[in-house]
Structure formats: structure tokens, C-alpha cells
Structure 1
Amino acid sequence: MAVRVLGGRYELVAFIGRGGMGEVWEGHDRVIKRRVAVKLLPHNRRDTSGAELFFREARTAGSLSHAGVVTIFDLGQDPDDGTLYLVMEYLTGRDLDTVLREDGVPEVSTAVDWVAQTAEALQAAHTAGVVHRDLKPANLMLTLDGRVKVLDFGIARYIASTHKSSKVIGTLAYMPPERFGDLPADARSDLYSLGCVLHELLTGSAPFRATDPVALMAAHLNTVPEPPGRVRAGVPAALDDLVMALLAKNPDDRPATAVEVQRRLRERPATAPAPGTAPHLPDSAADPEPGTAALTTATATAPGPDAVPTPKPEPGPGPATGTPARTRALSRRTALRLGIGAAAGAGIAAAFTLFDQNAPDRKTPDHKSSDNASLLRWRYTTGDAVTSSATVAGGVVYVGSDDKNVYALDAATGKKKWAYTTGRKVEAAPTVAGGVVYAGSLDNSVYALDAATGKRKWAYATGGVVTSSPTVAAGVVYVGSDDKNVYALSTTIKNSRT
């Protein structure tokens, strides 16, 4: 039964979701007898200029004809209440934000394939003069046959132009720094957002994880992000370089076009260095000969059960990640030099065959096996490796992560209740006592957090990193530190040092 009929033609059958760009419904086209998706957009009926802008932007986006862009069938304004709506093809699948939350980070080659498809769609849009302005995983739909479709072209500009209370419309975690200066977005702004998406697909988190909006804006403007290869083993050096080029603060230092991004993602490396290495060219390196690779891709062999991980080499001179950027931005010449030789049309399988250099006699569990599927109850993906043991109390799992957070997760569903960010990694298991979570961090501090809300009660600074789990007894917290001391702290400490 239809909830509502728009324009006497489109039945709204079932509510799908709501976001900053409006509501999305499953619909039915009475005329053509087909299933459609209908997006309802916020609008003041008296604002005729806003309606005109909507129709202009929607028509421009609707003129795009590309397999990677969702097809717009119709647009209109309901005569009953003035609601603006877009009628689009109905897609069966999940957006990449949902995929990350439900499945965790994909294989490197899969992430590259998805982003390469997105870059191809962006190139088609940019050639037509259309900039997305709000590219993020939630606007990338993965269909059941593995295709990526870009959603909401042209809508961000309409929202930005009709919401006078804010000059910046979009999603902060993926927004290019030039947008915070109220500068117009262009194709290179979409490429910055694409770099944020690629970083998240490779590591599980966007480049900057600040929860405060002001801090997040400052990070986009001033902080050099951490290359994905430092967070996840097996990321090729060339891919690290591409991510860092896409995330350059100055638009002139990013790849010039989406087609260049797609080429660098699709091409096959000429050679590979010895396993465990990830070479980066210094700025002083000579330009490569035409047709040769400027960077080679590191191989990743499947580790055996007793294998010791080979540490990645430290990068050469340059700005440290996670710190304010130096005044010299990555030049475009350097960004181009960091690319590798062209191999037009090379597929993803060819580009990443080096990752399949497995020893045939190594028997490792298949994460896609039916046994694994029956064992797994839920999985929650943090922003980095989890080396802390988990503590369970009152139906809640408390665990630390190398992404600097202490997490509280529902033990039955894995749904996040809260996360508290410390200054560095949390490697030891948290301790729960009397409704308080006690956790040590490598930022030299011990934290007392409310178990229900995650709100900090106090923090005590020791003289060294805290890698041990606190123990609580008779109103006292006992904990050791790398400064060779054992501390006894009152659970109700008032004069804390932070």
C-alpha cells in the first residue's frame, strides 16, 4: 500500500533512510510499472529561486550518462505541498559506509577497484562540468554485481545555496581544506574527498579522526595525515604516495584529473622490490625514463604461523604524520614523479598479482569459509590494530585500540556505546570496577571513565607510558608505568594532572 503519491504518478512504498540531503524512499512508477528510488528534498515552498536552482542542478546531473552514476529518471515538485523530488533507478546493494561497518575493511585490491570505478565516474562528471561536492562512502553504492554507483551529483550545491545559515555544506571528515575558506569547489576538491574515501577503505578510518568539528577542520587545514601503509601491512608504496598526493592541502599539488587517478590505480607495476620493503622516492630523485615505473610496488607474502612481521622502514626527511604540515606543500611535479608508468587498460587483477605470492603448503583459515560464518556473531572495526585484551562487564565489552580510543561495545550486538580518545595507543586491557573504566595509555596517563557514558572522571599523568592493566581493590587503583614506578591512586582522586 502506498504511503503517498507524488505528482499523481510515483507511489512511496517504503522508507529507506534519511540524511543531510533529504529522505529516500522505495517507490513505484505507476506509468512504466517499475521499481524506483525517490529522494525528497527539503524546500521552502515560497522560495521560488531555490526550486529553480534545484531543477537546474538536477537536470545537469541527470544529463550524465555513465554506468558509474545513478540514473535520474524524473524530477518534479508535488503540487499538494511543494515537495521537491528526484526519481532515480532503484539499486540493490549497500553503500560503502555500510559495507565498512558490517564487513570491515576490504582487501587492498578490492578497495583499489572500488575507488578506480569511482574515479572513472568522476571523470565523466567533471568533463560535463559537474562537481559532486559531497563525496563519501555513504554516497557510493556497491551493487550486488560489484559495480560502484555514485549518488547525489548536483544535490550538495543545491543544499548549500538554499541553507543560508551555513556557508559550508558537506561532511567534515571528507571535506577539502579549500572549502573552509569559502572557496568554490572544483574537480580537485572531489579528488581530495576521493583520497579520504581511499584512506578509509584501506585503513578503516578517514584520514583525521577528531570528533570536535573545529579540531577536524584544523586537521584538514594543517595536519599531514598518516599514510595507509603505516596502519595496514601490504599497502604498496605507490598507493601510499597516491593517497598522500590526493590529500595535498593545495589543490595544485593534487593529481590534475580523475583520469590520472584512475590510471595510477589501474596500472601494473613494472617490478617489485624485495618483500618487506616499501621504497619512496626522495624529492631529489631523478625523473624516470619515459615508459618506466617511477615507483615499484611492495609485495606481500602470506605469513606463516611463526612469521615475525617485517617492520616498514621509516620515511625519509619530511613532515611527520599527525603533525602540522611544513610550509612547503607537495609540488605537482613531485606528485607526478611519484606516479608509475602507464599501462592503459590494465585490470585490477593484473595490478595486484604480486599480492598473491603465497606458499602453496601454508594452510591458513579461509575467512570466507562456512565455519567462520557460523562462528562469527559480530565484528566491530576500530581505526587501527587492537592489541588490548577485552574486558566484559555488565553486558558491555571494553577494549583499547591503537587508534588511541577506549571503546565500549554492546556484548550481544557489537554496537558502539561510546568511545573515548586518549593521546596515544591503548594497548592494555581496561579494568572495570564500581561503574568506572580504568585504562592506561601510551600518552603516560591513566584514565577513569564513566562506564555508562565514557565521560572522563579524572586522568593521572605518570612519568612513562602505561602498558599494564590497572588493578582496583578497596578504593585504590594500582598500575605500573615504564618509568619504573608502581602507582596507587584513589578511585575518587580530585587533584589530577592531565
Structure 2
Amino acid sequence: MNKEEQNKTTNDKKIKEIQNGELLEKRYRIIRKIAEGGMAEVYEAFDEYLNRKVAIKIMTVTLSKDVKAEEKAYKEYEAIAHLTNSQNVVKVFARFEYEKRQCIVLELMQGYTLKDWIYKIGSCTNKELKFYFSQINKAVMAIHNENIVHRDIKPENILISYCGEVRVTDFGVSVHGSGDKQDKKIIGTSKYMAPELVQSHPATNLSDIYALGVVLYELATGVPPFVDVKPILVAVKHVKEKAVLPRRIKPELSEDLEYIIMKSISKNPEERYLSVQEFNKDLEKVWEKKPILKKPLKNQILLYSSKTKKYSLKPMVDKYLFNPKFLKNSLLITFLSLAIVLFLVVAIIIIWL
């Protein structure tokens, strides 16, 4: 360990860990730690001024001296503060600094995440989809109305209270709609990341709609459209591969619901729903068993050229069902396998005779 690392470790130790029962800002009594991530820890606390329980999101010790991390914490506070009128966004109450660590006081949701539901129950019924998405869509509409792009919509960031209230949370990587000011870093969760974000294109409302489509796909079928061992490979699949049609996984899904899912996760942003209102309108028609207007979807990939510095659309084929080379190789392998089995059977018969 070099001197810089030793100094950093020493400084981190000087910033004491938060203990249960500790009083922050002379009013918030820490009860317990309820969550922990790479950027922050979340504690359940009791507000002794207002006699209520709250959640306090506190920046990790390692990020306490990171200026960019502090800016993100402030942006998160500012983003949620603009959404106080939305019933489906976690409310923010205050912001303060403790031991050089940024802290945000939030509404405490007693319940579970949508991810917990998927792990325990699996795919949803139409009634359950309606229940969740009628509230999720209201939250995202409110977010977009404030010219904010969430950038990390996923089941882990959707909270459900034991009373059945649904809230969207975690605005740590959200940005205001002006895409010009966004950096070119790939930010988000690979499993729910739009193809244009994987290619360092600025985040927009349409990339949030893509994430909503992926969440809908996962809730409807029980599995996400793209999976792999490494997150980077999942991200590449969002750009280059076509998702398996939901009805191949769960045949009882309606054609209209399948269309809505595939339209919202189109590789081409312009082919998706242009707003969450449009997305929600078609979903409501499905719940009411009314027909929706369906336009043929083009199987195209949005690719970036480093030479021309422009994005272009290229046709995409289904990797497994429509690729002649793949089918040819599969038939050849099947034929050779049968020939080997037949040879072994004949050999065994000759030996026995």
C-alpha cells in the first residue's frame, strides 16, 4: 500500500460510522440500516421534531470527499423536490451534511421493492400489471413533466408499501432534459438500458420509455428480455439482438400487450411511444379489452459510426429464428449427431453378435 492509499484509509477512518441510536442534525434518531449500495447507505430514523419515521440516504464514507458525488446528491435532492405534488414519487423532506457526508431525508416506505415481488411471485397477471403500471406511469409522467429524465427506471427503484401504494425512487443519476450538458459516460443499469445510452447517446424521455418497456416485459413474462453473466454483454445485446417475443415465453399474453412491449423496447427511439401518456393510453385499452392501433414495427438497429460521427439505422434479423446460416449449421449438427448415434448402435449390435 502506497502513501496516498494509506492517507486515504486514515482519513476514511476519521469519518466515524453511523451507529444505531445516534442523533443526527439534533432531530433524527437512527434506528437501523435498511439498505446499502455503492454510492449511499439508507437508514430508518425517527424525526423527534415531527414524531414520524423517515428514511435518511447518506453518502458512503469513500465518496464523502468526491466533489462530483456531492453534486449528484444535490441534484437528486433538487429533482425530487420538484416532484412534491406527485403521489407516486418518494417525497423528500430535507437535506443536510453530517461528518462531511451528504444526507437526504426521505419518506419512509414500509414494504418491499418490485424486484422482491418478481423474485417471490414471478410473472404478473393482467390485474397485477394494471395495478402496478397505472401508478408507475403516473410517476414517470410527473417526472417528465418537470423536464427530468430518470435514467435508472428498474424494479429495484420501484417501492410498494404494505398498503399498496407504489412509489418511484432513486434519482441519483437523473438529469434535466437538456441532453447537451450530459457527459458521455454510460450510466444506468445494463439490464434496463436503452441502446442509445449504451452507445453514449444523451438520455431522453424515450430512453426512460425503453426502460419502462423492459420492466413491463419482465413483469409480464417473469424474465428480462436480455440476460448474460456479464453486465457489459447484456448492454451489447440491447444494441444488437432482438428480444424473444413475450408470447413465446408466456402464450396466454394478449397480442396487443405483446405489441405494446415490443414497440416500447424498439431499438429505434423514433419507433417507440413518443410519451408515457401514449404508452399508458394503449395499456389502458388492453386492460379494458379494447383494440389498439398497431403499426408494423421495423426490426432495425441504431448504430453509431465513428467515421461519420452520425447514427444510422440498419436492418436486424432474429439471431435464432431468421438467420439462414444459423439454421444451416443447426441442421448439420443434428444430422451428424444422428449419424454418430446410429453408428454406435450398429457397432454395439455387431459386438454382441
- TM-score under structure 2 length normalisation: 0.73
SS of equivalent to 1:267: helix
Deviations 1:295-351 (A, max 9, x none): 6xxxxxxxxxxxxxxxxxxxx99759xxxxx8258xxxxxxxxxxxxxxxxxxxxxx
SS of equivalent to 2:144: helix
**Structure-2 separation of matches of 1:317 and 1:32:** 53
Q: State the 1:47 CA deviation.
A: 4.4
In the TM superposition, what are the counterparts of 1:55-66 in structure 2 within 5 Å?
A: 55-64=74-83, 65-66=85-86
Q: State the 1:68 CA deviation.
A: 0.8
Match of 1:234 among 252, 273, 286: 252
**Corresponding residue of 1:220:** 238
Which structure 1 residue ranges, 5 or more long, are not aligned? Answer: 159-164, 273-291, 296-315, 321-325, 330-422, 425-443, 446-461, 467-480, 489-498
**Corresponding residue of 2:44:** 26
Contact 2:33 2:44 in 1 (8 A): yes
**Corresponding residue of 1:294:** 293
Which structure 2 residue ranges, 5 or more long, are not aligned? Answer: 1-18, 176-182, 301-312, 322-328, 345-353
**Corresponding residue of 1:255:** 273
Identity %: 28
Q: 1:31 to 1:465 in 2, by over 3 A?
A: farther
**Corresponding residue of 2:324:** none
In the TM superposition, what are the counterparts of 1:81-100 in structure 2 within 5 Å?
A: 81-100=99-118
Q: 1:256 to 1:44 in 2, by over 3 A?
A: same
Q: State the 1:269 CA deviation.
A: 7.3
In the TM superposition, what are the counterparts of 1:180-329 in structure 2 within 5 Å?
A: 180-268=198-286, 293-294=292-293, 327-328=314-315
Deviations 1:55-93 (A, max 9, x none): 244123222021110111111211xx2111111111111
**Structure-2 separation of matches of 1:171 and 1:30:** 37
Deviations 1:120-163 (A, max 9, x none): 1100010011211111100011222222210112x1148xxxxx
Q: 2:325 matched to 1:485? A: no
Deviations 1:219-264 (A, max 9, x none): 1111111121111021111111111111111222110111111111
Letter in 2 for 1:188: L
**Corresponding residue of 1:403:** none
User: Which structure is richer in relative contact order (CA contacts within 8 A, separation 6 or more)?
Assistant: 2
Contact 1:105 1:202 in 2 (8 A): yes
Q: State the 1:271 CA deviation.
A: 6.8
**Structure-1 separation of matches of 2:218 and 2:190:** 14
Q: 2:89 matched to 1:72? A: no
Contact 2:76 2:173 in 1 (8 A): no
SS of equivalent to 1:32: coil
**Corresponding residue of 2:310:** none
Q: 1:212 to 1:269 in 2, by over 3 A?
A: closer
Q: 1:483 to 1:266 in 2, by over 3 A?
A: farther
Match of 2:157 among 110, 125, 139: 139
**Structure-2 separation of matches of 1:465 and 1:141:** 52
Q: State the 1:53 CA deviation.
A: 4.7
SS of equivalent to 2:124: coil
Q: 2:334 matched to 1:464? A: yes
What is the total number of aligned residue pairs between the two structures?
297
Give the structure with the higher percent helix.
2
**Structure-2 separation of matches of 1:271 and 1:50:** 47
**Structure-1 separation of matches of 2:298 and 2:71:** 49
Q: 1:92 to 1:49 in 2, by over 3 A?
A: closer
In the TM superposition, what are the counterparts of 1:119-198 in structure 2 within 5 Å?
A: 119-153=137-171, 155-157=172-174, 167-198=185-216
- TM-score under structure 1 length normalisation: 0.53
SS of equivalent to 2:148: coil
Letter in 2 for 1:143: S
Q: State the 1:41 CA deviation.
A: 2.1
Deviations 1:375-418 (A, max 9, x none): xxxxxxxxxxxxxxxxxxxxxxxxxxxxxxxxxxxxxxxxxxxx
Contact 1:227 1:243 in 2 (8 A): no
Letter in 2 for 1:252: E
Letter in 2 for 1:132: H
**Structure-1 separation of matches of 2:297 and 2:158:** 36
Q: State the 1:487 CA deviation.
A: 8.9
**Structure-1 separation of matches of 2:46 and 2:252:** 46
Q: 1:328 to 1:134 in 2, by over 3 A?
A: same
Letter in 1 for 2:314: T
Q: 1:77 to 1:198 in 2, by over 3 A?
A: same
SS of equivalent to 2:112: strand
